[in-house]
Amino acid sequence: MHSKVDIGDPLDRVESRLKVTGTAKYAAEYNLPNEVYGVLVTSTIAKGRIKSIDTKAAQRATGVLSIISHENAPKVPGYSASVNNEGARVYGQEFRLFFDNKIYHNHQPVALAIADSFARADYAASLVKVEYEPEPHDTDMRDSLEKAIKPARHDDYSRGVAGAFKSAPIQVEQAYETPFQVHNPMEPHVTTAVWEGNDKVTVYNKTQATKISQKEIAKAFDLSEENVRAYSPFVGGAFGSSSRVWPQEMAAIMGAKATGKPVQVVLKRDQVFNMVGYRPRSVQRFGIGASADGTLTGITHEAYGSTSQYEQFTERITDPTKSMYSCPNLNATYRLVRLDMSTPCWTRGPGETSGSFALESAMDELAYKLKMDPLQLRRKNFAAKDPENNKPWSSNYLRECYEAGAKRFGWSKRKSEPRSMRDGDWLIGMGMASGVYKAVRDRAVARAKLSQDGSLLVQSAVADTGPGSATIFTQIAADAMGIDVEKTRFEWGDSTLPYAPGQFGSHTTASVGSAVYEVCKALKQRLQQLATEQAIQAARTEDLLFENNAISLKDGSSNIPYTDILKQQSLPELEVIKESEGNPAMEKYSGKSFCANFVEVRVHALTGEVRVNRVVSAVDCGKVMNQKTAESQVYGSVVWGIGIALMEEGIIDHRYGRHVNNDLAKYYVPVNADVPDIEVVVIDKPDPVLDPMGAKGMGEIPLIGFSAAVANAVYHATGKRIRELPITPEKLV
């Protein structure tokens, strides 16, 4: 039975052939009849007003169809409706494209040039002359901390005594900073929009959430949701940056309205830096205290993040601090600095990534003060239940991560003294860090269709931006139904399919996977009911086997192929829809994924260059759904962690309020040569509560704490503590 597939098997990705042959179609690649191209013109000031827009030359350019700005843009009914923050995922007034003459940030889109080729649209865009009335702006977070506000949607947290770390015998009090980081998926943000009449629009879209696109676009253009179709089977990476509706979507839809043609709008790389979110800067004051034996007695975490003037973007920056370690006294605050920049957006491990840099660096500093092994300090303060709310963990194999990771890494060979290991001109350092990330499950719906030819189709609107969700849902369905994997097809990435939440927050497997699992369970029940054999109909579930494309009794006395059941009932197909409503049992539990990262770095003694030499990433993500794609997810987080630790930094010239390194030659992300051997250790033990597959999430957990593990290794190598990312040669030379 070579085609039998189980959950966990390293099945090749179901869409792999399309991806390696270049036939997978991304949002800019449909080449629809009459399709035209839109290029956005962006502001050159950070704050002020548009005084005038001169589009004459642009309109005269060859191939130009239309130049759209706030002066002539098609009306967006939703822009004029009153602000309803109840439903909005970010508090405040969303950015309204071509709404008025106000400039809120540099590179704000102010016009759209549409022409019959990209080159012509691009040239026309360069001919649009905009005059501004600038106003004083502020993009410098560090100089504006005193102006920080308490976010409307974030509460301060405390347990025990606030500031207790100050009375601890051993304490660390430091400030840690992380810079702007930009998602930079390889596919720039893009939408191709097509109207059918005045009340129906299709968007071929780069989105992590077809249902959010559908809903938001329907709201903006006052359409019924069924008249908005977001079609996004292939998305060239997103990492959080395609979890909202952005200017390129609105521009394409407006452009298509104005021209009566399909319009594609692809952001240029510099626009990707300024229009579709980024990880906000953080400044974090962190205090941690312990008794002489290393027992934590108090933690204070005061975090500052940045946001725009029009929205309050909040992230989970203090979450790891609250849950990671057993500590009786803890107080955490989070404040926002409003800047004249676009609104940040969820970025892989949003909040936890920056917050854990502070927490896990401080733990390392504390370990040195205690003269204690950093791993031992963490083991000692293991939290038997979630200290944030005293709930038991739904599962927690963090200690197994510590043990397995340390063993594989050879942590015991580490000399404790900083600057004690060397290989020629290179200083060697070893560091580690722990990570914790929420494991939750949301509502999702799946539809299953079994055909008389024995094939199974399972559908959900969920996106697959790269993690391999489509593959594991195929796998879950094939495994649950006992149907050959070749006969199982999963369809995704289309808002006309049953509801799925966005593919973010590491909750896709638990949410949509549960719906897939449950719809298969329902389908099996239907098959049992429809089976003509009395023995099968009457059997208890536990006495039945659903294997080899057939129902059978475990005692072997009866066996009916699914196809026979459909034929006997004269059903061309059998369709079941199932809604999976999260999991109420989880209210009593705290659901988290855990990890322990072990990193070896080489730091050049003279030049200060840092190279990550070796990584062991040990992860508790519940039951693994696909060994192959799971490993790839860990690789992804590790590569992100290397980028964040060593090179990624959005640099702004505050005099102009403008990014100066907004492309991939000046904002570095890791290349192949930066990435060493990565050993992945997956604990692979099912979570008994969260979902029927036993899966937690794994798209983000290995990233949490990773940058601190690198910084800790750099300290071990050099004796220099870097508290401001990234760790570039200039900080070490």
Partner 1 sequence: MEEQKANKEGQSEQPHNDTRRDFLKQSSLLTALVLTPPTVFNAAAARLDEKVAEKFEKVPVTLEINRVKQKLSVEPRVTLLDLLREQLNLTGTKKGCDYGQCGACTVHVDGVRVNSCLTFAVMLDGKKITTIEGLAEGDELHPMQQAFIKHDGFQCGYCTPGQIMSAVACVREGHANSEAEIREYMSGNICRCGAYPNIVKAIQEVKNGGQKV
Partner 2 sequence: MNQFEYTRPTKQKAALEQKAKSPATKFIAGGTNLIDLMKHGVENPQKLVDINRLPLHKIEQTKTGLRIGALVANSTVAEDKQVLEKFPLLSQALVSGASAQLRHMATVGGNIMQRTRCYYFYDTALPCNKREPGSGCGALEGINRIHAIFGFSDKCIAVHPSDMCVALAALDAKVLVTGPNGDRSISFLDFHRLPGDQPEKDTNLGPDELILAVDIPASPFTKNVHYLKVRERASYAFALVSVAAALDIENNTIRNARLAMGGVAHKPWRLLGAEKALIGKQVSEEVFQQAAAVAMQGAKAFEHNEYKLKLAPNSIVQALKNAAGMA
Which residues are the active-site residues?
700
Q: Which stretch binds partner 1 (CB under 8 A): 41-49, 149-157, 299-307, 667-675?
A: 667-675
**Residue 64 — φ and ψ, nearest 5°?**
-80, 135
**Exposed/middle/buried for residue 31 (C-beta within 10 Å: 0-12, 13-18, 19+):** exposed
Asked whether position 655 contacts partner 2 by CB under 8 A, the answer is yes
> Which are the contacts of 357, defined by CB distance < 8 A and separation ≥ 6?
176, 178, 284, 705, 707, 708, 711, 725
Binding mask 179-208 for partner 1 (x = CB under 8 A): ----xxxxxx--------------------
Q: Are 612 and 676 within 8 A, CB to CB? A: yes
Identify what 724 binds: partner 2, partner 1, none; CB under 5 to 8 Å per kind: none
Give the one residue of 628, 654, 685, 731 binding partner 1; rule: CB under 8 A.
628
Residues 646, 652, 658, 659, Cα dihedral to 10°: -10
409-428 binders of partner 2 (CB under 8 A): 424-425
- Residue 617 to residue 679: CA distance in whole angstroms: 6
Asked whether position 609 contacts partner 2 by CB under 8 A, the answer is yes
Closer residue to partner 1, CB minimum distance, 563 or 632:
632
Asked whether position 186 contacts partner 2 by CB under 8 A, the answer is no
Asked whether position 719 contacts partner 2 by CB under 8 A, the answer is no
Nearest to 684 by CA among 615, 636, 616, 627: 627
Asked whether position 109 contacts partner 1 by CB under 8 A, the answer is no
Cis amide prior to 328 (ω within 30 degrees): no
Closer residue to partner 1, CB minimum distance, 272 or 448:
272
194: helix, strand or coil: strand
Asked whether position 733 contacts partner 2 by CB under 8 A, the answer is yes
Here the tokens at position 555 are: 């005692």
- Residue 452 to residue 489: CA distance in whole angstroms: 15
Asked whether position 408 contacts partner 1 by CB under 8 A, the answer is no
5-34 binders of partner 1 (CB under 8 A): 12-13, 15-26, 28-29, 31, 33-34
Identify what 608 binds: partner 1, partner 2, none; CB under 5 to 8 Å per kind: partner 2
90-129 binders of partner 2 (CB under 8 A): 119, 122-123, 126
Looking up tokens 């962190």, which residue turns up? 286
Give the one residue of 4, 407, 611, 628 binding partner 2; rule: CB under 8 A.
611
Closer residue to partner 2, CB minimum distance, 600 or 687:
600
Identify what 29 binds: partner 1, partner 2, none; CB under 5 to 8 Å per kind: partner 1
Strand order in the sheet with 456-459: 488-491, 456-459, 444-451, 573-580
Binding mask 123-142 for partner 1 (x = CB under 8 A): x-------------------
Q: Which stretch binds partner 1 (CB under 8 A): 157-165, 178-186, 492-500, 580-588?
A: 178-186
Closer residue to partner 2, CB minimum distance, 64 or 336:
64
Identify what 687 binds: partner 1, partner 2, none; CB under 5 to 8 Å per kind: none
Identify what 391 binds: partner 2, partner 1, none; CB under 5 to 8 Å per kind: none
> Which are the contacts of 551, defined by CB distance < 8 A and separation ≥ 6?
524, 527, 528, 531, 536, 544, 545, 559, 560, 562, 565
Asked whether position 466 contacts partner 1 by CB under 8 A, the answer is yes
Asked whether position 674 contacts partner 2 by CB under 8 A, the answer is yes
294-313 binders of partner 1 (CB under 8 A): none
> In three state form, how does the secondary structure of 324-386 look?
CECCCCEEEEEEEEECCCCCCCCCCCCCHHHHHHHHHHHHHHHHHHHCCCHHHHHHHCECCCE
Q: No. of H helices and E strands in the chain? A: 18, 31
Cα angle 460-464-465, degrees, rounded to a multiple of 5: 155
* Total residues binding partner 2 (CB under 8 A): 38
13-72 binders of partner 2 (CB under 8 A): 44, 62
* Total residues binding partner 1 (CB under 8 A): 83
- Residue 390 to residue 383: CA distance in whole angstroms: 10
Here the tokens at position 549 are: 């494309």
Q: Which stretch binds partner 1 (CB under 8 A): 361-369, 494-502, 593-601, 662-670?
A: 662-670
Q: Which stretch binds partner 2 (CB under 8 A): 221-229, 298-306, 539-547, 605-613?
A: 605-613
Looking up tokens 């967006």, which residue turns up? 76
Buried b (16+ CB within 10 A) or exposed e, 357-383: bbbbbbbbbbbbebebbbbebbbbbeb
Closest separation in Å from C-beta 612 to partner 2: 9
Give the one residue of 4, 269, 285, 419 binding partner 1; rule: CB under 8 A.
269
Here the tokens at position 143 are: 């100089």
Residues 560, 561, 564, 569, Cα dihedral to 10°: 70
**Residue 497 — φ and ψ, nearest 5°?**
-85, 170
What single letter denotes the amino acid at residue 225? E
Asked whether position 135 contacts partner 2 by CB under 8 A, the answer is no
**Residue 164 — φ and ψ, nearest 5°?**
-65, -25
Closest separation in Å from C-beta 678 to partner 2: 15
Q: Which stretch binds partner 1 (CB under 8 A): 159-167, 350-358, 395-403, 626-634?
A: 626-634
Binding mask 638-657 for partner 1 (x = CB under 8 A): xxx-----------------
- Residue 128 to residue 511: CA distance in whole angstroms: 47
Name residue 547's beta-bridge partners. Answer: 550
Binding mask 581-620 for partner 1 (x = CB under 8 A): ----------------------------------------
Give the footprint of partner 2 on this chain (CB under 8 A): 44, 62, 119, 122-123, 126, 424-425, 604, 606-609, 611, 646-647, 651, 653, 655-656, 658, 660-661, 663, 665-666, 668, 670-674, 726, 728-731, 733
